[in-house]
């Protein structure tokens, strides 16, 4: 990773575990300073302390629920004195599987804030700075599940669809100005978030990808966008996008059911 092109600082939203933490470790090894944002202070501090002990880069942390009304303002304020050359938005995992109308409406509005409103504001804020400098990068992390409505995760799927479409548009707009944008679309990935909703990581035909390998794919393909499907999911993703919609939704439902722990 070129620290002169994507540094000196990277902001990682959702940087306390899984793919976000893997991004942090890899970027720190490349000499890029880090601002890590996540909701839970303890795992956030643990990742930051681990990276600081290596002694190569500076690390800032911001414990923050990205669905909070002032979340984007607080992120922008926390980075006002530094140059962010890379934005990685990795937040917004599904917390549980349940039918849309059976949930509290706040579940949906919070998901909209985390996966739509806040990444939009941050991409605009940092993207405009990168455009003015003529360099930088943005990675918006999406999910294959965003290619079809997902029963039990309808709002999550809808919001992740927004993220990859936004990435495609920004890729085209910012590329002539030296700013690389990538929509990193994940399949099943062996993360704590996946485990928390009760999904297996070793289902035959649905073996979950390793977070470190997924993060490396993202870094390797930044600049080759607009979209990278991780963990060998390219064929599945394109199949979902092309098939009749009722069949696509049914396939997502069957796949999710197969991965649930009994």
H helix runs in the chain, sequence order: 3-6, 18-29, 41-54, 71-78, 105-112, 118-133, 154-174, 192-196, 211-221, 234-242, 245-259
Active site residue 156: yes
Rounded to the nearest 5 degrees, what angle is found at the Cα of 116, between the Cα atoms of 110 and 122? 110
Residue 81 to residue 166: CA distance in whole angstroms: 27
Residue 111 to residue 231: CA distance in whole angstroms: 25
Catalytic residue among 6, 89, 147, 156: 156
Buried residues in 27-42 as b, exposed as e (16+ CB within 10 A): bbeeebbbbbbbbeee
Would you put residue 168 in left (φ > 0), alpha (ψ -120 to 50) or beta? alpha
Residues with catalytic annotation? 156
């Amino acid at each position: 990773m070129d620290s002169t092109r994507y540094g000196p600082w990277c902001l990682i939203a959702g940087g306390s575990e899984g793919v976000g933490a893997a991004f942090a470790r890899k970027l720190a090894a490349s000499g890029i300073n880090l601002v890590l944002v996540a909701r839970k202070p303890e795992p956030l501090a643990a990742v930051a302390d681990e990276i600081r002990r290596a002694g190569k880069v500076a690390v800032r942390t911001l414990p923050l629920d990205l669905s909070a009304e002032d979340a984007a303002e607080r992120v922008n304020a926390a980075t006002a004195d530094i140059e962010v050359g890379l934005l990685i938005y990795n937040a917004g995992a599904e917390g549980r599987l349940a039918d849309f109308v059976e949930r509290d409406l706040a579940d949906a509005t919070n998901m909209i804030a985390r996966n739509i409103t806040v990444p939009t504001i941050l991409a605009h804020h940092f993207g405009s700075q990168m455009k003015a400098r003529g360099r930088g990068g943005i990675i918006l992390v999406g999910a294959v599940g965003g290619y079809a409505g997902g029963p039990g995760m309808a709002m999550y799927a809808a919001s992740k669809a927004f993220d990859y479409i936004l990435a495609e548009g920004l890729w085209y707009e910012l590329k002539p100005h030296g700013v690389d944008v990538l929509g990193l679309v994940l399949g099943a990935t062996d993360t704590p978030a996946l485990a928390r909703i009760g999904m297996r990581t070793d289902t035959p035909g649905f073996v979950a990808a390793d977070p470190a390998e997924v993060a490396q794919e993202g870094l390797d393909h930044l600049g080759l966008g607009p979209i990278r499907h991780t963990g060998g999911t390219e064929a599945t993703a394109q199949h979902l996008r092309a098939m009749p919609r009722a069949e696509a939704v049914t396939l997502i439902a069957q796949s999710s059911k197969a991965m649930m722990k009994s």
